Amino acid sequence: MALAVNAHAQPTHYVSLYADPAHSVKYAHDTAPGVLTVYVVHEAQPIIPNVSVATSLDFRVSQSSGFTGVWLEESTTHLFLGSSPTGIRFAYGGCLQLPTRVLEIHYSVFGTSDECSYLEVVGHPDEICGSDAICAFDCEFEYHVPIGGRLVINPNAECSPLPVALTTWGKIKSLYR
């Protein structure tokens, strides 16, 4: 099977982790025993109707050594194979406009995670898009390698939960023209 490489201008795909159902908070606090719910969202920027779309997504969620939470369960409305800690594949059952929530993961936390520990979206270990790559297919069966997100646990001044993207000086200067 040959994979089509997407060479024309397309939105960049992201797989983001959020601590709230509104998908706006990219950090969480583990200060007392309880359950932490993490929301996994497949996104694209810019959002272009009928272009910011996908049919499938493959990834796994790794955790830093400082995160002491224990994976409990996960839930989704999509067809899937696997689990988020070991590698999960989603088939959306059609062409979905992004963004779309793909998964809710529940962790038991104990109030013992280190500052600046994290959960992070990384490549599926058995990936068809390349070694350790996150993989998404759009509705024309062209593949994309989404950028994986990070949820910072117990953030402090040294670890910012604000999103950062690669750019060029030309793009930065154009913001001030």
Tell which residue, 4, 134, 139, has the closest CA to residue 61: 134
pLDDT recorded at residue 2: 44
pLDDT recorded at residue 20: 98
Question: Residue 89 corresponds to which tokens in the numbers above?
Answer: 């594949």
Contact 118, 151 (CB under 8 A): yes
CA dist 150 and 163 (Å) reads 9
- CATH assignment at residue 47: 2.60.40.680
pLDDT recorded at residue 167: 63
> Domain count of the chain?
1
* Domain that residue 128 falls in: 4-174
Q: Which residues in the chain come in under a pLDDT of 70?
A: 1-10, 127, 160-168, 170-175, 177
Tell which residue, 62, 84, 66, has the closest CA to residue 75: 84
pLDDT recorded at residue 42: 97
Tell which residue, 52, 58, 54, has the closest CA to residue 129: 58
pLDDT recorded at residue 133: 87
CA dist 7 and 107 (Å) reads 39
pLDDT recorded at residue 7: 43
pLDDT recorded at residue 166: 54
pLDDT in tens, 86-116: 999 999 999 999 999 999 999 999 999 999 9
CA dist 142 and 56 (Å) reads 11
pLDDT recorded at residue 51: 79
pLDDT recorded at residue 155: 95
Per-residue burial over 47-74, b = 16 or more CB atoms within 10 Å of its CB, e = otherwise? eeeebbbbbbbbbbbbbeeebbbebeeb
Tell which residue, 91, 61, 58, has the closest CA to residue 77: 91
pTM of the model: 0.84
